Amino acid sequence: MKKYEFKVSTGITSIMMIFVVLCLTAFGVLSFSSANADMKLSVKNADSISDYYKAEGIINEKICSIDGIILQVRQEGLSGDSYYEAVKNAINESCGENAYNQENNTVTIKESISGSRSLCAVLKINDENTDEGYSIENYAVKSE
């Protein structure tokens, strides 16, 4: 009886090594492209967050300015319609003509974050007898 022996020749070993090297190369390229995409997304996210906080800082400066305007008008001792009229005139002078809505005594402040997004704050001006000069009704990111 003849025994058959299985011998691995150098050709099969070379083919296996080439296959392993190709697999490792493909996985390396895929890992690199995935890491590159993650880095680009991280940079885009960081820029977006930076733009948001920049807009938030500008909004807060404007709110601080409005608070100062309300305090100054309150120190003048005005009341009723003359109080709201003085607040409206001072705010429109400071923030722009269309900032103050006289129908519901609100101030809308809008600051652009990026191309199609903006940060919007709506302040309700309280009457002269309340402790706080204003209350924040809405503070949100809006898409345009």
Q: Convert the pLDDT of each residue in 46-101 to its tens digit.
A: 999 999 999 999 999 988 988 888 888 888 877 777 888 888 888 888 777 777 88
Q: How many domains does the chain have?
A: 1
In a domain, 12, yes or no: no
In a domain, 65, yes or no: yes
Please give the pLDDT value at position 2. Answer: 66
Instruction: Write out the two tokens for 71.
Output: 């305090």
In a domain, 10, yes or no: no
Cα distances (Å, whole numbers) of residue 2 to 5, 7: 9, 15
- Phi and psi dihedrals of 19, rounded to 5? -60, -45
Q: Convert the pLDDT of each residue in 73-83 to its tens digit.
A: 888 877 777 88
In a domain, 5, yes or no: no
In a domain, 9, yes or no: no
Which residues span the domain enclosing 90? Answer: 34-143
Cα distances (Å, whole numbers) of residue 13 to 4, 7, 22, 52: 20, 11, 14, 58
Exposure string of 86-104, with b = 16+ CB inside 10 Å and e = fewer, is bbbebbeeebeeebbeeee
In a domain, 22, yes or no: no
The model carries a pTM of: 0.73
- Phi and psi dihedrals of 140, rounded to 5? -150, 160
Q: Look up residue 102 and give its amino acid.
A: Q
